[in-house]
Structure 1
Amino acid sequence: MTVERWTDEMLDRLATTVAQNSEQIRELRELFSDMRANQAMLQQEQSEMSRQFMHTIGIIAQQQSEIAGLRTETNRMLDILINQRQGEDDGGQQSA
């Protein structure tokens, strides 16, 4: 087995490669950190949007209930008016 001696040029290339790798590792760590921060913000926004959605659903349910009540009240008043009109018509026909 032969042993190859390192030349200055080989050592310089190795040092350059190590420096480049170190820089890339630092950049990847920063990206990973940024990704985790972004993920946390997204989860917080998702939670807030979910809360707002549930609040909106509650408002819609309340409005639907109010609409149903108004519909019932409108039908009741309409029945009263129809009955009054029929009573007037019946009374007018009987007196004629």
Structure 2
Amino acid sequence: MDGHSVDRHSVDGHSSDTGSAHLVELSHGTLHHSTHLAGPTDAVVSLSRAALARLADEPSALDALLADRTVVVHEGRQEAIAELLDLLVTFDLFFPVIEP
């Protein structure tokens, strides 16, 4: 995550396939996760684990997932999800992940 330019950004996520709730907050360059939802957030969304994995791999899929209601924004700003995804950083693996 490239969160150094963001003071605070938070999203409540509700898993549509497990029923669990998660708070993801980015503040002062640090990503936090909690299952204790507290305080106002930028958005409240529900999505499946498969949709979350797809968004992590392909953030540009957000519009399609919103259109077919795979991702549903219940409260807050829909743009907050795109803003959080825009902060994801990808990099090439330049070393072997598994050594024999």
TM-score, normalised relative to structure 1: 0.19
Would you tell me which structure has more helix in proportion to its own residues?
A: 1
The higher radius of gyration belongs to 1
Q: Which has the higher contact order (CA 8 A, sep 6+)?
A: 2
